[in-house]
Amino acid sequence: MTSSQDVLSRKASGIGRTIFVIGLIVVAIASGVGGYYFGGGLTTAGQTTLNGAGSTFVYPFMSTVAAYYTAANPNVHVNYQSVGSGAGIAQFGAKTVDFGATDAPLSSSQRTNITNVIGTPLTIPESIGAVTIAYNLPGIAASTPLNLTITVAAKIFQANITQWNDPAIAGLNPGLTLPNQAIVVVHRSDSSGTTFVITSWLSKDPVWKLGAGKSVQWPSGTRGGPGNEAVATLVQQNQYTIGYVELNYVLSTSPPMTFSAVLNPNSNTFVLPSLKTVSNAVSNSSSSLPAGNGDWSSVSLLNAPGSQSYPITSFTYLLVFQELSHISGMTQTKAQALINLLSYVIYEGQNRAAAIFYVPLPASVVRIDEAALNSITFNGNALNHT
């Protein structure tokens, strides 16, 4: 029988949520969990279903953690819809899910509005990842990655540079023969935390004019797709494209996609995204982190100090209400299952992160998460978490 570790570490051919989820179902079956589903399906009597929605950036991590959690807790099913951070925040605010997931923290106004209308939202960092700049250039091997600066990347994504052999790109890559072909920019078409992360990074250069947000007005002639999956597929399957994709999506294909090294402004060296360089960004970050019930809108790991920190690094977050009775249909049993899942994510789930190219949370962040979990109540009563 195939082991769960074999399933989780196997490289998929191409990008596809369906392929990944099939692997997770095999994990559950191999673990003896009957009726397991993820993202939709049937449950059996006596089982509790937890519904979440949001970030595609964190979907591989959430999928993996949910599979292991369900294997250990067969009476609890996790239904997480990978619909983008914007939709996740919207569904959380509408109380149609038990938890949301987003790479863009709630803005100050979003947090205030949700607090005033419903109740206090908690922001719980669940993982750390990187946004890569992936491209499809025939003849350019992964062993000789394209070098990009923030200025050149900004000009490419807002269509100021339109040819692959433009002198600005060629000058950064003297060892590469770049084609005389038009650049096809691929971006997210949905409201996206991944878009928020990369546009927040690009906004640090004055040449960038499109602003920072989960959605921006991309130039005409660019191509859009919903979710990291769609962007990765468009880049992988179409020559001369360039797009931005979370690290897991470019490394989990066979063969892996090619992606650029980005200039680190602290050392003037080009740094590739990897577990090590993303970890460096976290450990070297000077961000002061708030409590779970605080305002996370100014927290950033972008351009973190350190000569080998990858510049486009980000937390991704879970959103839950401090008082769970705000959610329609919440029961004592369901509330307990939800807090147990959250506890599993921030503790045991971190042991699954590195294998799928996410960085485990540092102990200091886990302590903040633990304090947030300890503050969660149902009908005013505290909940225990395991």
Does residue 3 carry a pLDDT above 50?
Answer: no
**Shared-domain flag, residues 171 and 116:** no
**For the packed helices 59-72 and 17-30, what is the interaxial angle rounded to 10 degrees?**
20
User: Which single residue is written with the structure tokens 């950064």?
Assistant: 172
Say if 280 falls within a structural domain. Answer: no
Say if 356 falls within a structural domain. Answer: yes
**How much is the pTM?**
0.88
**Shared-domain flag, residues 105 and 123:** yes
Does residue 385 carry a pLDDT above 90?
Answer: no
- Residue 254 amino acid letter: S
Are the beta carbons of 319 and 121 closer than 8 angstroms? yes
Does residue 182 carry a pLDDT above 90?
Answer: yes
The 3 state secondary structure assigned to 131-173 is EEEEECCCCCCCCCCCEECHHHHHHHHCCCCCECCCHHHHCCC
**Shared-domain flag, residues 23 and 123:** yes
Are the beta carbons of 253 and 279 closer than 8 angstroms? no
In terms of residues, how long is the chain? 386
**Shared-domain flag, residues 164 and 88:** no
Residue 357 half-sphere exposure, CB side, CA atoms within 13 Å? 22
**Shared-domain flag, residues 107 and 162:** no
**Shared-domain flag, residues 104 and 136:** no
Say if 96 falls within a structural domain. Answer: yes
| Chain mean position to CA 206 | 26
How many domains does the chain divide into? Answer: 2
| Chain mean position to CA 247 | 9
* pLDDT the model gives residue 386: 67
Mean pLDDT, range 249-272, rounded to an integer: 92
Cis peptide before 121 (omega within 30 of 0): no
**Shared-domain flag, residues 240 and 115:** no
Query: Strand order in 269-271's β-sheet?
Result: 147-148, 261-264, 269-271
Residues facing residue 100 across a β-bridge: 53, 319
**Shared-domain flag, residues 119 and 222:** no
The CATH number of the domain where 167 resides is what? 3.40.190.10
Q: What's the CA gap between 63 and 25, in Å, rounded?
A: 10
Which helix (H) or strand (E) element contains residue 125?
strand 121-135
Say if 281 falls within a structural domain. Answer: no
Instruction: Band the pLDDT of 17: cuts 50, 70, 90.
Output: very low
pLDDT in tens, 333-371: 999 999 999 999 999 999 999 999 999 999 999 999 999
**Shared-domain flag, residues 260 and 360:** no
Say if 154 falls within a structural domain. Answer: yes
**Shared-domain flag, residues 328 and 237:** no
With DSSP H G I counted as helix, E B as strand and the rest as coil, what are the percentages for the chain, rounded to 5? 35, 20, 45
Mean pLDDT, range 78-98, rounded to an integer: 97
Say if 325 falls within a structural domain. Answer: yes
**Shared-domain flag, residues 152 and 214:** yes
User: Which single residue is written with the structure tokens 């989780």?
Assistant: 8
Per-chain mean pLDDT for the chain:
89
* pLDDT the model gives residue 254: 76
* pLDDT the model gives residue 45: 55
User: Which single residue is written with the structure tokens 């949520």?
Assistant: 17
**Shared-domain flag, residues 145 and 109:** no
Does residue 41 carry a pLDDT above 80?
Answer: no
What is the largest distance, in Å, between two alpha-carbon atoms of the chain? 65
Say if 283 falls within a structural domain. Answer: no
Which residue from 315, 312, 283, 321 is spatially nearest to 297, judged by alpha carbons? 315
Which residue range(s) make up the domain with 109?
A: 4-130+289-301+313-382
* pLDDT the model gives residue 253: 80
